[in-house]
Chain A
Amino acid sequence: MSGVRVLVGTKKGAFILASDGKREKWEVSGPHFAGWEMYHLKGSPVDANRIYASQTSGWFGQVIQRSDDGGKTWFQPGTPPGETKAPDGTPKGESNKFVYDTSQETGAPLTTHQWYDGTQHPWEFKRVWHLEPSLDDPDTVYAGVEDAALFRSTNGGKTWEEFSGLRGHGTGPQWQPGAGGMCLHTVVLDPVNKNRIFVAISAAGAFRSDDAGKTWKPINKGLKSQYIPNPEAEVGHCVHRIAQASSRPQLLYMQKHWDVLRSFDAGDSWTEVSGNLPTDFGFVIDVHAHEPETIYVVPIKSDGEHYPLDGKLRVYRSKSGGNEWQELTKGLPQSNCFVNVLRDAMAVDSLDKCGVYFGTTGGQVYCSPDAGDTWAPIVRDLPAVYSVEVQTLV
């Protein structure tokens, strides 16, 4: 029988929510890694038991965790449970080693980016925001990190190598941190063109590689951002999230700091599709699993007020790829709700009907088993939710 497993990263640990295909009754496990900030967990599309997790702390830095049994047990890759020392004495604890590649052969010099006060600041690794497992190989996984860069592991997370062509793109001095830091938070792997990768960085914009990560080009034509000196600059935009219609990989959607946008040409050009949204500020955007023009956003009041308008938590759905939006409120609080929904905190399953999930900074995780028509909380009182991913189990 089909089912779903929802992977929730929070400010104080990770939680796994499991249900059968009806998505009515849930089993909750956690907190895993209690007390740690869990920025993101995501399962391999080709091995549902393989899950990667980003565990981070202001005190102890970055840790990568991996499960090979669907989240029941975890270990740091390269350091299996119960084994603390390699037989040959060689140190193996490199699963959390994210060092920018500055080598002459494959690297790029460690340069600077804009700091909050406008001065230049050196690149410094802080944490992994997003883990994107390969669509084909369970041992290959990509990591989007702060300060912005893209890393990849091809050995199940034991070691990591940077795609330095992105950080070395040359526009780095114009990139700047958003309020959350200068993070590479979105990684989209094209399901058809295996050499194509999309990433998004706050605040630099969206970038695309067509050669499997070696070289990158900004794809921000059509974006307009009033908070940078040239609103239509090539880079500098605070892209909050991009989502791809997997059945039509050229079709992308974007939630920018302000504005919701759409691209029909894999990001070469973008058009605003905010339409009748009550506010087009927000963080999340996602696409229905089976309908490439059905998309979801959660409008947030403004960049200075990170909560829903009028205290009403509303998901907006467009069935026309944007411009015309319908508010979805059934089962969501419609008074005194002042939570936020962060950029990695929405996901969809691939059941029929498509399930839609999102988590809030108030610790609620909501599920709609009917593509957004109705909603119910799975849990109400978790720590602030950073990320939500869902695995469809068959």
Chain B
Amino acid sequence: MIRVLLPPHLRALARVKGEVTVEVTGTPSVLSVLDALEAQYPMLEGTIRDHATRQRRPFLRFFACAEDLSHDPPETPLPEEVVNGKEPLLVVGAIAGG
């Protein structure tokens, strides 16, 4: 079970409060977590990754264990602390626009 903390606007879209959890088969990665997240909350499709390119939206970041995972290949295995549920994967809106 992977813990994911979404930014407030996406929590509102998904109609959830606080963290969400998703089940991932195989080795958890940002890619597999996002696939599971979008399957569980289809209203989030297109909001974290572009529908057409499947690329991360430019002003979103993926943080975990005080590290920025945004620029790693999306198939990169997540840190052990995220996999075992000790730490959440954070989806963060970048500071932009003042």
**Residues in A lying within 8 Å of B, measured CB to CB:** 35-36, 57-63, 76, 78-79, 81-82, 84-86, 89, 91-94, 96-100, 125
CB-based contact A60/B15 at 8 Å: no
**B66 at interface, CB cutoff 8 A:** no
CB-based contact B39/A97 at 8 Å: no
The residues of B that contact A35 with a CB separation of less than 8 Å are: 9
Q: Please pick, from A59, A76, A99, the residue contacting B51 in the complex, using a CB distance under 8 A.
A: A99
User: Which of chain B's residues 67-98 have a Cβ closer than 8 Å to chain A?
Assistant: 93-94, 96-97
A323 to chain B, nearest CB (A): 43
CB-based contact B9/A86 at 8 Å: no
CB-based contact B42/A92 at 8 Å: yes
The residues of B that contact A58 with a CB separation of less than 8 Å are: 59, 96-97
Q: Please pick, from A36, A60, A86, the residue contacting B48 in the complex, using a CB distance under 8 A.
A: A60
Please name the residue on chain B nearest to A60 by beta carbon: B47
Please name the residue on chain A nearest to B60 by beta carbon: A59
CB-based contact B57/A61 at 8 Å: yes
CB-based contact B94/A96 at 8 Å: no
Complex CA distance for A82 and B16, rounded to whole angstroms: 10
Q: Please pick, from A36, A61, A76, A100, the residue contacting B43 in the complex, using a CB distance under 8 A.
A: A76
Q: Please pick, from A60, A76, A85, A89, the residue contacting B10 in the complex, using a CB distance under 8 A.
A: A60
CB-based contact A59/B39 at 8 Å: no
A336 to chain B, nearest CB (A): 25
Known: A61-B46, A91-B38. 14 other contacts (CB 8 A): A58-B96, A59-B7, A59-B94, A60-B9, A61-B50, A63-B46, A63-B47, A76-B13, A78-B42, A79-B42, A84-B15, A93-B45, A99-B51, A100-B52
Tell me the interface secondary structure of chain A in the complex: loop
Complex CA distance for A78 and B44, rounded to whole angstroms: 12
**B14 at interface, CB cutoff 8 A:** yes
Please name the residue on chain A nearest to B44 by beta carbon: A93
B53 to chain A, nearest CB (A): 9
Complex CA distance for A123 and B94, rounded to whole angstroms: 25
**B27 at interface, CB cutoff 8 A:** no
Complex CA distance for A125 and B52, rounded to whole angstroms: 9
Please name the residue on chain B nearest to A92 by beta carbon: B42
Q: Please pick, from A57, A76, A78, A89, the residue contacting B9 in the complex, using a CB distance under 8 A.
A: A57
Complex CA distance for A100 and B94, rounded to whole angstroms: 27
B95 to chain A, nearest CB (A): 11
CB-based contact A59/B93 at 8 Å: yes
User: Which of chain B's residues 14-50 have a Cβ closer than 8 Å to chain A?
Assistant: 14-15, 38-48, 50
The residues of B that contact A79 with a CB separation of less than 8 Å are: 42-43
The 3 closest A-B pairs by CB, nearest first: A93-B42, A93-B45, A60-B47
CB-based contact B42/A85 at 8 Å: yes
Complex CA distance for A91 and B47, rounded to whole angstroms: 14
CB-based contact B45/A94 at 8 Å: yes
CB-based contact B46/A91 at 8 Å: no
CB-based contact B47/A96 at 8 Å: yes
